[in-house]
Amino acid sequence: MKRLFYSLCLWLFAVLPSWAQGNEVEMADALRANGKIYVVVAVLATIFLGIVLYLVSIDRKVKKLMKD
């Protein structure tokens, strides 16, 4: 069962790219792959995650206070 699953995965990885090459829809990824725009995305995601985690921790404190 496991072996079947792995071989299926392998097959998908092998075959999917060739399917993707078939339809030539120009998307932003191809346009900006070398433009380092993903660096900006990573930076913004880091900032967003950090702030959200801090807000969640504050929110937990408020909930705990409300309970008591």
Partner 1 sequence: MKKWYQISTILLLLYVIVGGFLMPVPRLPIVNESIRNLYFHVPMWFGMTILLAISAYYSVQYLRKGTESLDDHAVESVNTAVLYGLLGLSTGAIWANYTWGAPWNGDPQQTMAAIGILIYVAYLVLRGAINDPLRRARVSAVYNLYAFAVFIPLIFVLPRYTDSLHPGKGGNPAFSQYDLDNTMRMVFYPAVIGWTMLAWWITKLAVRVRQLKRKQEEIQAHRQIQIEENT
SS3 for the chain is: CHHHHHHHHHHHHHHHHHHHHHCCCCCHHHHHCCCCHHHHHHHHHHHHHHHHHHHHHHHHHHHHHHHC
Looking at 4-12, 13-21, 34-42, which segment touches partner 1 (CB under 8 A)? 34-42
Closest separation between CB of residue 10 and partner 1, Å? 31
Between residues 9 and 40, which has the closer beta carbon with respect to partner 1?
A: 40
Residues in contact with partner 1 by the rule CB under 8 A? 32, 34-37, 39-40, 42-44, 46-47, 50-51, 54-55, 58, 61-62, 65, 68
